[in-house]
Homo-oligomer: A and B are copies of this chain.
Amino acid sequence: MRALVLDGNGVRVERSHPEPVAGPGDVRIRVLRAGVCETDLQLVRGYMGFQGILGHEFVGVAESGPFAGHRVVGEINCACGACATCESGLRTHCPHRSVLGILNHDGVFADTAVLPQANLHPVPGSVATDEAVFAEPLAAAFQIPAQMTIDPRDNVVVLGDGRLGNLYAQVLGTLTGHVLVVGKHPEKLEVLRAMGIATCLLADAPVDRSADVVVDCTGSDSGLPLALRIVRPRGTIVMKTTVAGEHAMALAGIVIDELTLVGSRCGPFDRALTALSDRTVQVRPLISARFPLDRGLDALEAARGGALKVLIDVGDQGPLPE
């Protein structure tokens, strides 16, 4: 099969990569569409030391199990299901987990991928494939209200105008009328403004310590220090940025101002699919480029160059209605 593969020699499209092997409880998935994420770009730069098929955002058709023949999306953490962490309900934190396209598990930039049946969610007929491919990052946005209460009066600042900042701002905007996105890219801020979301350029960031909640999805080590200048005393900083390596930080302010920092990662797919189905979140305006799998390297390059969301067309759905 075709696959976009990362190894010690770099990243390339292979035309005859071996098919993935499905273990007990696994379902083979014929991939239709995939999305490029910032994490994919970081993996190419060496983050996590990953080698294998890249990609973890996808829509595909299940080849077996209860969703056979139907479009599915999938949670990316594959838990062991047997350890103390799994038994405590924290399967996404299983210390033995593999992670689709990120850790010990081949990803979805390929004709076929494999995931446990338990990870799959059927895509509602009302949600197009181009929309459903956003389920994974959108679920991560819904993880914020799953971890903390956002009050309708809360003043929320989202740092970062990229694909994640956009989705997070839309989701948080359903909970409070006071969301501001701070970004560096006028064209990306314009996409947000067209959605009715307030924006400002980085130079105009409100460093007056008035934000109740600041969400850092800058993808940069400059995000947290900026968040510390924006959040009010006793406020909350949601950390969505994974930055490799160590960074110098002044930490006393966290104590003096009694701040709460909340690390936040993957989230509930059911809420994401519902939001896509009932149109409370718009994702089509984010699609800024599209490449066939054979041009996977161009897809990565476009994402690296700052495209809002790059999709990869992998396969046709065939006779099923979309």
Contacts and interface: CB of A to CB of B under 8 A. Distances in A.
A209 interface: yes
Contacts of A241: 255
Q: Could you say which interface size class chain A belongs to?
A: 35 or more
Q: Quick one: copies of this chain in the complex?
A: 2
A246 B250 contact: yes
Interface string A257-277: 111111111000000000000
A242 B246 contact: no
A251 interface: yes
A256 interface: yes
B244 A246 contact: no
Contacts of A248: 246-249
A258 B264 contact: yes
A22 B251 CA distance: 35
Contacts of A250: 245-247
A247 B255 contact: no
Given A263-B255, A264-B255, A90 B246 contact: no
A295 interface: no
Contact of A263 (B243, B246, B257): B257
A242 B252 contact: yes
Contact of A252 (B243, B253, B257, B262): B243
A240 interface: yes
A231 B52 CA distance: 31
Contact of A90 (B93, B234, B242, B254): B234
11 contacts: A93-B234, A93-B257, A93-B258, A147-B258, A221-B251, A243-B251, A254-B261, A254-B263, A259-B263, A260-B260, A261-B261
